[in-house]
Amino acid sequence: MAEPAPRSVYIALGSNLADPEAQIRCAFDELDRLPDSSLTSHSSLYRSRPLGPPDQPDYINAVALLRTTLSPQVLLDQTQAIEAAHQRRRGGERWGPRTLDLDLLLYADRVVQTDRLQIPHPEMTQRAFVLLPLAEIAPAGLVIPGAGSLQALLQRISSDGLWKL
């Protein structure tokens, strides 16, 4: 039986606690060490204002491109294990502060809808801190299933409160 072909997967990274820049850079290395996966590229780092409670530090955000043969569900388990290794606490305040957040944005051109996982990420099209870093590393003409072209989405979103580092 032939090995499955690696798929391109885009992962958003965010942190606003415990040296966020170091958290993101460490997560890039950890993504590259996942089984049957390799980190192909990553965006610059961006600073963004928090979406949730205003009494928290700004976030550092980025997007990584991973080539993997892992299934979306196994990849979710692996990224959640990375978050846990960074002392990520789940079940707290929505959009509250965190050491590390890894969100699966796109898995090739697949659409996944389960209780645990939605791909494309359901809120990515409204977030400049996702779309701008994604545009740095995505191929021209990238289409987000069900949402349209990345270029069209970028034209409709404000980058106020987002700074490239």
Q: Report if residue 2 sits inside a domain.
A: no
Beta strands in the chain (DSSP E): 7-15, 37-42, 46-48, 59-68, 101-107, 112-113, 118-119, 143-144, 148-149, 162-164
pTM of the model: 0.95
Q: Give CA–CA dist 67/64, Å, rounded.
A: 10
Over residues 15-42, the pLDDT tens digits come to 999 999 999 999 999 999 999 999 999 9
3-state DSSP assignment of residue 100: coil
pLDDT tens digits for range 130-142: 999 999 999 999 9
Catalytic residue among 88, 90, 110, 156: 88
- Tell me the percentage of the chain whose pLDDT exceeds 70: 96
Q: How many domains does the chain have?
A: 1
- 90 has pLDDT over 70: no
Looking at the domain assignment, is residue 38 inside a domain? yes
Residue 29 annotated as catalytic:
no
Structural domain containing residue 46: 7-164
CB atoms within 10 A of CB 105: 21
88 part of the active site = yes
1 part of a folded domain: no
CB distance 43 to 136 below 8 Å: yes
- Say which CATH number the domain at 86 has: 3.30.70.560
pLDDT category at 94 given cuts 50, 70, 90 is: low
Residue 101 annotated among the catalytic residues of the structure: yes
Point out the catalytic residue in the list 7, 47, 67, 103: 103
> What pLDDT band is residue 61 in, cutting at 50, 70 and 90?
very high
Residue with tokens 């796109």: 106
Catalytic site residue 89?
no
Residue 45 lies in a domain: yes
Considering 7, 47, 101, 127, which one is annotated as catalytic? 101
